Amino acid sequence: MKILIVDDSKSVHRLLEEMLDLPNLEFQHVYNGLEAISAIKETNFQADLILLDWEMPELSGIDTLPIIIKNHPNQTIFMMTTKNSMPEITDAMQKGAKDYIIKPFTKDIIIGKINSLLEGEY
């Protein structure tokens, strides 16, 4: 399984790799929305899951989300953010996010969401 992590914080990238220390996982790292768009435009792009931060420089996650969905309509994307109001959650889901993870989250939360979304592979 391949996961694209899109977050401007390198510490979040490290934390996610530590939390998701599971067999057969491969990670790709980008640090803002523009880098994410470049990554998905590569002809060999394949990710089973994109973990997309909301607040980033260059291009925010919420603005990146519909661009990714336009190019890859069936892409599985989890938004990661400290934003927790119902209108924000609804906005992300309407723009194509499959799930929403509120920071800070625990290992059990993220693994549980991955399990439920990807039909229990892990």
| CATH at 39 | 3.40.50.2300
Q: Is residue 72 part of a domain?
A: yes
Asked if residue 79 has pLDDT above 50, the reply is yes
pLDDT at residue 103 in the model: 94
Which contiguous run of DSSP H or E holds residue 67?
A: helix 61-71
Domain containing 95 equals: 2-113
120: left (phi over 0), alpha (psi -120 to 50) or beta: left
* Edge-to-edge strand ranges of the sheet holding 49-53: 26-30, 2-6, 49-53, 77-81, 99-102
Residue 53 lies in a domain: yes
The more confident residue out of 14 and 25 is 14
Region 82-104 average pLDDT: 94
Please, which pLDDT band fits residue 122 given cuts at 50, 70 and 90? very low
The reply to whether 119 falls in a domain is: no
Structural domain includes residue 56:
yes
Q: Say what the pLDDT of residue 114 is.
A: 85
Please check whether residue 51 lies inside any domain of the structure: yes
| 118 located within any domain | no
Mean pLDDT of 90-118: 91
Confirm whether 76 is domain-assigned.
yes
What is the number of structural domains in the chain? 1
Cis ω before 104 (30° cut-off from 0): yes
